[in-house]
């Protein structure tokens, strides 16, 4: 019996992070997490064997816009205590991707069987937090309004390498009329822990994007209307590209759009 | 003997606001004030007969981006005590413009003979402050580097009217490569008291500017280089347009680029 089926979208939206995590942990919720436990920070997950941890940690430190590191676990301890005292990294995400030698091999809803006592978890900030702030500021995010996934693109910008981790920067694109574009830069500048300000504005070709109509990584095509300006933010898919290059024998991430919901209020991640 | 002739540009740049005001008050400095007393806020001046004061005050309140009001004098008292205890509105600016019925009739270096006991002075924030902050943030302002005056344009945007004061919004334009454009929005957002964030980015035609190569109000043409994006800020010339419409029998302003130098540190006008 799927308990989550009894819950309306409004119930899920107004639920506490703990309530959502309990539903996910018990297998009663297996869908994407956008809009759930509104007002709380959702994070990207990367789990790596211990021997890769220091290099990947340095990769995050050197690439704070795509990889804003909000928490790192103790080796072998599947916990992010500062993100929520009861969080279990192995069971509290609705869908995990498992990569072997850099290739996606399976998606599962619990990774307890994969966990080893040297694994290290990394929690990286996610754009859901700043999207919430943009919407609260009165801006329209058309992909959200249409129930679509924000378009993503690989750029020609190299991430700063660390050990075996390197690759191109991946960006998300959101287009706004000029005054809203200015406002969007202001609002997201307040959230350096969840990708922060855009890394580019205007001409996509300047960062190596040949065609905005061909998004990657499952993002949806979002046409740019007359008078709109595209803004490009560093994206949490960047570390996944770097993982493909590093080819660790195993790596666990969340499945895109199925995030870990934390007890940290979105407003707490604001810098000012 | 012109004392200021003995002073180098570096002397003037490092001088205190009081030293510069003393030179100006004694008639020993009669030039533009950009780069003088670096680190201190310079302001636009508007002086009006008492019967216009309340309407113009409301015009400022309704148009905070072009008319950021930093101080208003007591009627008849030529002082801005919070901007500098010794400031004399009548003598501390190197060149004043006098308008009669909305038309410029003379430029003088002291307005003591014009001052009446009902006159009210308005000190409005000036973009010199945020330009200083932009340069400190490492951005290049090409018009400054070339010793040119920032280009200004009348837009098709109506200022919010108050009494007889109304007119179009005037903007300044500064162009930057995309990453610097984002940074410029961040930096100037911190300075709402000196025009704040841009009001427009990108296509000039969207705000009624037909040709960027035809700046107005004495600004210089500044070509936009490949990869640059134009940013448009509300400009302190906006109230001068509104004064032309209101046609008060007399009005005194500073001459463009000859500002009142205050004791307020630029950093003090930052919002965060």
Could you report the predicted ipTM of this complex, rounded to two decimals? 0.82
Task: Count CB neighbours of B51 within 10 A.
Answer: 12
CA distance A19 to A24: 9
Q: Which two tokens stand for residue B111?
A: 């307005």
Instruction: Answer whether B178 sits within 8 Å of A202, measured CB to CB.
Output: yes
**How many whole angstroms separate alpha carbon A133 and alpha carbon A195?**
13
List of domains in chain B = 17-127+246-267 (3.40.1640.10), 129-239 (3.30.2040.10)
pLDDT at B253 over 60: yes
Could you give phi then psi for residue A88, rounded to 5 degrees? -115, 115
pLDDT tens string A112-148: 999 999 999 999 999 999 999 999 999 999 999 998 9
The answer, yes or no, to whether residue B117 has pLDDT greater than 80, is yes
**Nearest CB to A182: which of B178, B197, B272?**
B197
- Please tell me the predicted confidence (pLDDT) of residue A196: 96
**Identity of the residue in B179, B189, B201 whose CB atom sits nearest the CB atom of A229:** B201
Q: How far is B111 from chain A (nearest CA, A)?
A: 40
Mutate to test the interface with B, among A173, A201, A205, A272 (most CBs of B within 10 A): A201
CA distance A185 to chain B (A): 7
Residue of chain A with shortest Cα separation from B205: A227
Contact B227 A198 (CB under 8 A): no
Query: Residue B189 is nearest to which of A179, A186, A229, comparing CB atoms?
Result: A186
CB spacing of A182 vs B185 below 8 angstroms: yes
State how far the Cα of A169 lies from the Cα of A236, in Å rounded to an integer.
Answer: 9
* Contact: B206, A197; criterion CB under 8 Å: no
Q: What is the mean pLDDT of chain B?
A: 94
Beta carbons within 8 Å of B146's beta carbon, 6+ residues apart: none
pLDDT band at residue B4 using 50, 70 and 90 as cut-offs: low
Instruction: Give the DSSP letter string of B107-136.
Output: EES--TTT--TT-EEEEEE-HHHHHHHHHH
* φ, ψ dihedrals at A105, nearest 5°: -115, -30
Q: How far is A43 from chain B (nearest CA, A)?
A: 25
List of chain B residues whose C-beta atoms are within 8 Å of the C-beta of residue A178: 200-203, 206
| Mutation choice for A interface testing from B202, B207, B208, B232 by most A CBs within 10 A | B202
- pLDDT > 70? residue B60: yes
List pLDDT tens digits, range B178-225. Answer: 999 999 999 999 999 999 999 999 999 999 999 999 999 889 999 999
Distance CA B125, CA B259 (A): 10
Q: Mark yes or no for CB contact A201/B229 under 8 Å.
A: yes
**Gap from A203 CA to chain B (nearest CA, Å):** 8
The nearest alpha carbon in chain B to A202 belongs to B178
Q: What does DSSP assign to residue A1? A: -
B178 interaction partners in chain A (CB closer than 8 Å): 200-203, 206
What is the model's pLDDT at position A1?
42
pLDDT of residue B115: 98
Residue of B nearest to A187 (CA): B186
pLDDT, residue A111, reads 98
Measured CB to CB, residues of chain A less than 8 Å from chain B are 178-179, 181-182, 185-186, 189, 197-203, 206, 227, 229, 272
The residues with which B124 forms a beta bridge, in sequence order, are: B44, B69
Q: How many CB atoms lie within 10 A of CB B136?
A: 12
Residues B28, A225: Cα–Cα separation, whole Å: 57
CB atoms A199 and B186 under 8 Å: no
- Block means of pLDDT (10 residues each) for chain A, length 272 residues? 72 95 96 92 96 95 95 96 97 97 95 97 95 94 91 97 96 97 96 96 98 94 96 94 95 93 93 86
- CB < 8 Å to B200, chain A: 178-179, 182
Q: What is the pLDDT of residue A3?
A: 64
Residues of A in contact with B206 (CB under 8 A): 178, 227
Q: Which residues of A touch B181 (CB under 8 A)?
A: 201-202
Measured CA distances, B119 to A25, B47, B84 (Å): 73, 7, 19
Instruction: Tell me the pLDDT band of B169, cut-offs 50, 70 and 90.
Output: very high
């Amino acid at each position: 019996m799927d308990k989550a089926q009894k819950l309306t979208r409004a119930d899920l939206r107004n639920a506490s992070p703990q309530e959502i995590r309990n539903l996910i942990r018990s297998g009663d919720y297996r869908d994407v997490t956008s809009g759930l436990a509104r007002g709380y920070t959702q994070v990207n997950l990367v789990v790596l064997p211990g021997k890769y941890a220091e290099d990947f940690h340095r990769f995050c430190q050197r690439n704070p816009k795509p990889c804003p590191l909000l928490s790192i676990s103790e080796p072998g301890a599947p916990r992010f205590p500062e993100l929520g005292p009861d969080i279990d990294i192995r069971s509290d995400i609705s869908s995990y991707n498992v990569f072997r030698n850099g290739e996606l091999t399976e998606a599962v809803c619990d990774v307890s069987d994969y966990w080893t006592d040297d694994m290290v978890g990394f929690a990286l900030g996610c754009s859901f937090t700043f999207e919430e702030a943009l919407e609260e500021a009165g801006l329209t995010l058309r992909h959200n309004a249409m129930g679509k996934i924000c378009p993503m693109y690989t750029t020609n910008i190299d991430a700063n390498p660390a050990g075996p981790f390197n690759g191109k920067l991946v960006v998300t694109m959101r287009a706004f009329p000029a005054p809203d574009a200015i406002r969007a830069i202001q609002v997201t500048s307040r959230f350096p822990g969840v990708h922060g300000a855009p890394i580019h504005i205007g001409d996509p070709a300047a960062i190596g994007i040949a065609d905005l109509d061909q998004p990657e990584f499952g993002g949806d095509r979002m046409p740019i209307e007359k008078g709109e300006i595209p803004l490009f933010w560093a994206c949490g898919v960047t570390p996944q590209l770097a993982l493909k290059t590093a080819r660790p024998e195993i790596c666990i991430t969340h499945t895109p759009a199925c995030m870990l919901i934390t007890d940290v209020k979105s407003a707490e991640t604001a810098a000012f």
